[in-house]
Amino acid sequence: MQHDEMIGKVQALAQLPGRGPAERATQAVLATLAERLPSGLAGHAAAQLPPDLAACVRQAVDASPGKAASGERFGLTTFAARVAARAGTDEDAALRESAAVLEVLDAALAPELMEKVAGALPADIRELLPLERAAEDTE
């Protein structure tokens, strides 16, 4: 999936007023997701993204040395707070935007890779994934 298509879909799904907020939301969610995932998995996801969005993922992994190999451990509350801080929005909007970005990401990544991403997330963050993916038993 190309960059413009991804941002357009995020804008529509999250009902954002323009491409700027959709771009900020996408980068905020991808960076926060990259912090939560093991670095190898984040790297594999980045390899399937458009270059500028891949760079956002790689920068987040590089910025958290020591924690990156296994991914930081945090739940939905921290996830939403980090997305909100990065996107310049409140936590309710961050959750809505996160669900939109993760739905687009689900369509953009190879299904087997997205299954691994979902499996690396705690149940509360998995609830942001599209219904079919969130309901999968990843235990």
**Average pLDDT by consecutive 10-residue portion of the chain (139 residues)?**
97 98 98 96 97 96 75 96 98 98 98 97 96 59
Cα 101 from Cα 96, distance rounded (Å)? 9
pLDDT at 139: 46
Specify the CATH number of the domain 3-126: 1.10.490.110
Helices (H) and strands (E) in the chain, counts: 9, 0
Interior/surface letters 28-48, b for 16+ CB within 10 angstroms, e for the rest? bbbbbbbbbbebebbbbbbee
Contact predicate 21/11, CB 8 Å: yes
Cβ-Cβ contacts under 8 Å for 5 (sequence gap 6 or more): none
Cα 18 from Cα 62, distance rounded (Å)? 29
